[in-house]
Amino acid sequence: MSDTRSTVNEFFRRLGVMDADGVAALFAEAIDWYVPGPSDLPWTGHRSRRGDVPDYFHTLCSHIHLEKSKVKLEQLVIEGEDAVAFGTFSHVTSTTERPFSTPFALHVKIKDGAITTLQPYEDAYVVGRVFGV
pLDDT at site 133: 85
Among the listed residues 130, 113, 132, 114, the one whose alpha carbon sits nearest the alpha carbon of residue 122: 130
Enclosing domain of residue 79: 4-130
- pTM of this prediction? 0.89
- Contact 14/5 with Cβ under 8 angstroms? no
Q: Is the pLDDT of residue 120 over 90?
A: yes
| Helices assigned H by DSSP within the chain | 4-16, 20-24, 52-61, 124-130
Number of domains in the chain: 1
Q: Is the pLDDT of residue 100 over 80?
A: yes
pLDDT at site 89: 92
d(CA 82, CA 117) in angstroms, rounded, equals 9
Quick one: pLDDT band at residue 1, thresholds 50, 70, 90? very low
d(CA 73, CA 94) in angstroms, rounded, equals 24
For residue 71, what is the domain's CATH number? 3.10.450.50
pLDDT at site 87: 96
